[in-house]
Amino acid sequence: MKKPFKLSIILLFCYVANGQPITGNWEGALSIQGTEVPIIFHIKRDSADKLAATFDSPKQQAYNLQCSDVIVTGDSVILMMKMINGKYAGLLSSDKKILTGNWSQGGASFPLSMKKTSDVASAKEFKRPQTPRPPFNYNVKEVSYFNADKSIQFGGTLTYPLQKLVKKYPIVLLITGSGMQDRDETLFEHKPFAVIADYLTKQGLAVLRVDDRSKGATTGNFENATSADFAKDAEAGIEYLKTLPNVDATNIGLIGHSEGGMIAPMVASKRNDVKFIVLLAGPGVPIIDLMEKQSVEVMTAGGIPKEQSDQYRPLYKNLMTAVMNEQDTAIALKKATEVFADWQNKTSKEVVQRITKVIDEKSKADFIADFINGMKSPWFSYFIKFDPAVYLSKTNCAVLALNGEKDIQVDAKQNLAGIKSALPKTTNATVKEMPGLNHLFQHCKSCSVEEYGELEETFAPEVLTIMSEWIKNVTK
């Protein structure tokens, strides 16, 4: 699921006017809502002798992202990223080892200073043994289709078995989690949707995986879209599947991961042409409750003692409750300030500083402003008010719900209980907690968000087996 904040920042550096190169590694950190977000840039010359860069943000599950566009005047560097409407403006120090500036995005601005740590760019390399590689023993087809009003063209990959005896196949549409994702749901160079599609296709199923809006071969506007818009995108995918000659239209299913596990019931609850849905780490409780628990679990996994991180719960819940329906920013600021002051008076100075980084009135004002700015996007405004029970209670198709026992983003016990309780008693439902697995369904050790990229495993084999056997049983 989406965290309380999520920035996507992709930057490109160039030569300054005096001709000094800035190739190498640059490291810094954004401070957002009292949380440090490490940033690493790897800048090098490409094969055409032009500067190119990649960007890492470990806490945001982002590594080796490609960078673009730059304006340089003297020692001033302005870095743009159109896709996210973001800008970084920085000033290079006289010794060419420090960039001091601000990152601006979505009406918010955050200080960001970068320190050069190496003259040679060294992007992180990953081993991903599960990633499928050609040649494939099944059909692979690049496809495109439009939504009903032709405003968005979707690009995706369709895979289906080679066997000639079977004319029509049950088919699965994969629905990505939060954030702008490609069709493989690539995170830390893991490609879980490619792994899922590969396995299910080898088991005799057809699979369609699709780029999100504004990503890859798909058009449309991602920045202003909400989960309701993404549900419409999934419906466009279903309509496309029904036109395919080798698809069994009576056996169409959805597999959604994280936010995708929220969208699947939104779609299935209003359609009679969805035979089954698989919810991978999908929410089962109101999102505000999920996010309250997530924020504490992420803090604890990051090294803050549990007895301290638990004290953030009332602040997060009360701040959200106070401002999430308030349209007037000035009133929202006033309410949030009152909530924070009340919490601060009841909480030790040590815990306040450790959790929120608030040490004076200015840092308190910055924390509150950052919190409110993080809620301004159409996506988050819709998301934080969402209650999955509204849709789960109207879902009558077969449901398989799986959550990792060690998931710190979508707690297994909390959300599986919510799913089980919300589904109609007559629904063919299987609800299962998977031992030892994190939010990405990897066997984990520390089970923190930062560990996702350190693990070589992309997706637990036992989950692939469970999904495949369950789907084949439902569609036989």
156 and 278 inside one domain: yes
Look at residue 299 and tell me if it is in a domain. yes
Specify the pLDDT at position 7. 39
* pLDDT surpassing 70 at residue 70: no
Q: Which of 331, 351, 383 is the last residue of a domain?
A: 383
375 and 424 inside one domain: no
pLDDT tier at 79, thresholds 50, 70, 90: low
269, two tokens: 């609850």
Distance CA 173, CA 193 (A): 10
CB 131 within 8 A of CB 458: yes
Instruction: State pLDDT tens for residues 466-476.
Output: 999 999 999 98
Residue 135, burial from CB neighbour count under 10 angstroms (0-12, 13-18, 19+): exposed
410 and 278 inside one domain: yes
Q: Which residue has the higher pLDDT, 33 or 203?
A: 203
Angle at the Cα of 454 from the Cα atoms of 449 and 458, rounded to 5 degrees: 85
pLDDT tier at 14, thresholds 50, 70, 90: very low
414 and 271 inside one domain: yes
| pLDDT cut 70: percent of the chain above it | 87
Distance CA 208, CA 179 (A): 19
* pLDDT surpassing 90 at residue 233: yes
Instruction: State pLDDT tens for residues 347-405.
Output: 999 999 999 889 999 989 988 988 888 888 899 999 999 999 999 999 999 999 999 99
Residues 6+ apart with CB under 8 A from 152: 146, 213, 218, 219, 220, 233, 236
168 and 263 inside one domain: yes
Q: Which of 349, 383, 417 is the last residue of a domain?
A: 383
Q: Does the pTM exceed 0.85?
A: no
> Maximum distance among all alpha carbons in the chain?
73
Please, which residues bridge with residue 393 across strands?
none
Specify the pLDDT at position 74. 66
Residue 128 to residues 190, 207, 423, 463, Cα–Cα distance (Å): 7, 21, 37, 18
When pLDDT is averaged across residues 178-199 and rounded to a whole number, the result is 94
3-class SS of residue 469: helix
Q: Which residue has the higher pLDDT, 38 or 435?
A: 435
- Pairing status of strand 62-66 against strand 70-73: unpaired
Cα-to-chain-centroid distance, residue 318: 25
Which helix (DSSP H) or strand (DSSP E) does residue 81 occupy?
strand 76-81
337 and 471 inside one domain: no
The segment with the largest mean pLDDT, out of 113-127, 290-304, 334-348, is 334-348
Q: CATH number of the domain at 206, please.
A: 3.40.50.1820
Distance CA 364, CA 349 (A): 13
When pLDDT is averaged across residues 277-295 and rounded to a whole number, the result is 96
90, two tokens: 């920085």
CB 204 within 8 A of CB 167: no
In the Cβ-directed half-sphere of 68, how many Cα atoms lie within 13 Å?
Answer: 9
Specify the pLDDT at position 2. 40
CB 213 within 8 A of CB 233: yes
Q: CATH number of the domain at 55, please.
A: 2.40.128.20
Which residue is it, tokens 């992180």?
124
- Pairing status of strand 139-146 against strand 108-118: unpaired
Specify the pLDDT at position 5. 38
DSSP conformation letters of 115-153: EEEESS--------TTS--SSPSSEEEEEEEE-TTSS-E
Q: 23-27, 221-225, 243-247, 302-306: which range is least confident on average?
A: 23-27
394, two tokens: 């109207």
Look at residue 5 and tell me if it is in a domain. no
When pLDDT is averaged across residues 57-80 and rounded to a whole number, the result is 67
In the Cβ-directed half-sphere of 175, how many Cα atoms lie within 13 Å?
Answer: 34
Please, which residues bridge with residue 155 across strands?
144
Specify the pLDDT at position 82. 54
Residue 286, burial from CB neighbour count under 10 angstroms (0-12, 13-18, 19+): middle
144 and 261 inside one domain: yes
Q: What is the DSSP letter of 25?
A: E
* pLDDT surpassing 90 at residue 53: no
Cα-to-chain-centroid distance, residue 300: 20
Q: Which residue has the higher pLDDT, 367 or 21?
A: 367
* pLDDT surpassing 60 at residue 10: no
Among 468, 469, 348, 449, which Cα is nearest to 1's?
A: 449
Look at residue 133 and tell me if it is in a domain. no
N-term to C-term CA, the chain: 32
Instruction: State pLDDT tens for residues 91-125.
Output: 878 888 888 888 776 566 788 898 988 888 777 77
Distance CA 110, CA 36 (A): 12
Among 250, 257, 117, 290, which Cα is nearest to 184's?
A: 257
Distance CA 266, CA 281 (A): 15
Q: Which of 59, 84, 118 is the last residue of a domain?
A: 118
| Structural domains counted in the chain | 3
pLDDT tier at 64, thresholds 50, 70, 90: confident
Look at residue 335 and tell me if it is in a domain. yes
pLDDT tier at 68, thresholds 50, 70, 90: low
67 and 151 inside one domain: no
162 and 43 inside one domain: no
Domain range for 255 is 139-286+386-475
pLDDT tier at 80, thresholds 50, 70, 90: low
390, two tokens: 């509204």
145 and 252 inside one domain: yes
267 and 292 inside one domain: no
* pLDDT surpassing 80 at residue 51: no
236 and 305 inside one domain: no
